[in-house]
Amino acid sequence: ISYNGQPLVKVACGAEFSMVVDCKGNLYSFGCPEYGQLGHNSDGKFIARAQRIEFDCELIARRVAIFIEKSKDGQVMPVPNVVIRDVACGSNHTLVLDSQKRVFSWGFGGYGRLGHTEQKDEMVPRLVKLFDFPGRGAAQICSGYQCSFAVSEMGGLFFWGVTNTSRESTMYPKAVQDLCGWKIRSLSCGKSSIIIAADESTISWGPSPTFGELGYGDNKPKSSTTAQEVKTLDGVYIEQVMMGYCHSLVIARQDTEQEQERLKKLPEYNPRTI
């Protein structure tokens, strides 16, 4: 990409835009500015010929310069010294985690996916209030298609937005009670499903339709609206999980002979025979 700043350490992409983070914690974005998802205080709309609405896209990486917080009465205050540690993009929204364990979100606000108790689009990164307290900061962030997740530094999982649009949306971060007490190592979200590696288990859930990404096994229910352990991975210690639009990949530990034996018992996926 056309970029001549500090070395880059993180990259994330949404539907039609991308984010990169450099080693000094600066955030850059490029692509389509619709809904304010680039964080440059504009949705980039302009009226082209014949009343057509078009977008003034950012063609090279541009630094996201301002981070804000809003008080209850609508006052906007800039948040200084934001050093980005991680970034996660949904289809049209972005979450970042900074060095002080704060979470900011911006872009498309539909279904409460930004976590600000309102459905308004945000044009610049706005502080998510819940994680801005000592001992209540976030340790990990993860973004689904139209929802958001964060793991608090105490290890609790929080969710906001929506996985199933026919159900009620969650307008601000709420603790996922099903996972109370689990120590989450890795999590990833697809379109509307989620997979988690925690303690000795792998956990997943997602509303119908699903396509096997939950990993429950043949002749088992394909979808679940509540968190379920993935029994097909019993006894397998998962280091990292990753979910695409509707498929999952995991990295399993195989340090001991026992672990290697357990992995040998899993069926082998051969794309040529399927």
217-264 pLDDT tens trace: 999 999 999 999 999 999 999 999 999 988 999 999 999 999 999 999
- The predicted structure's pLDDT at residue 211: 93
Domains and CATH numbers, the chain: 1-45+54-175 (2.130.10.30), 184-267 (no CATH)
pLDDT of residue 137: 97
C-alpha distances (whole Å) from 49 to each of 26, 33, 52, 155 are: 37, 19, 6, 52
C-alpha 269/C-alpha 98 separation (Å) is 39
Spans of the chain, pLDDT less than 50:
none
pLDDT at 138: 98
The residues near 239 (Cβ < 8 Å, ≥ 6 apart) are: 185, 186, 197, 251, 252, 253
- CB atoms under 10 Å from CB of 165, counted, come to 11
The proportion of the chain whose per-residue pLDDT surpasses 90, expressed as a percent, equals: 87
Closest by CA position to 196, among listed 157, 169, 165? 157
Whether residue 162 contacts residue 147, with contact meaning beta carbons closer than 8 Å, is answered with yes
**Residue 274: predicted pLDDT:** 59
Q: Tell me how far apart the alpha carbons of residues 27 and 80 are, in angstroms, rounded to a whole number.
A: 14
pLDDT number for residue 51? 87
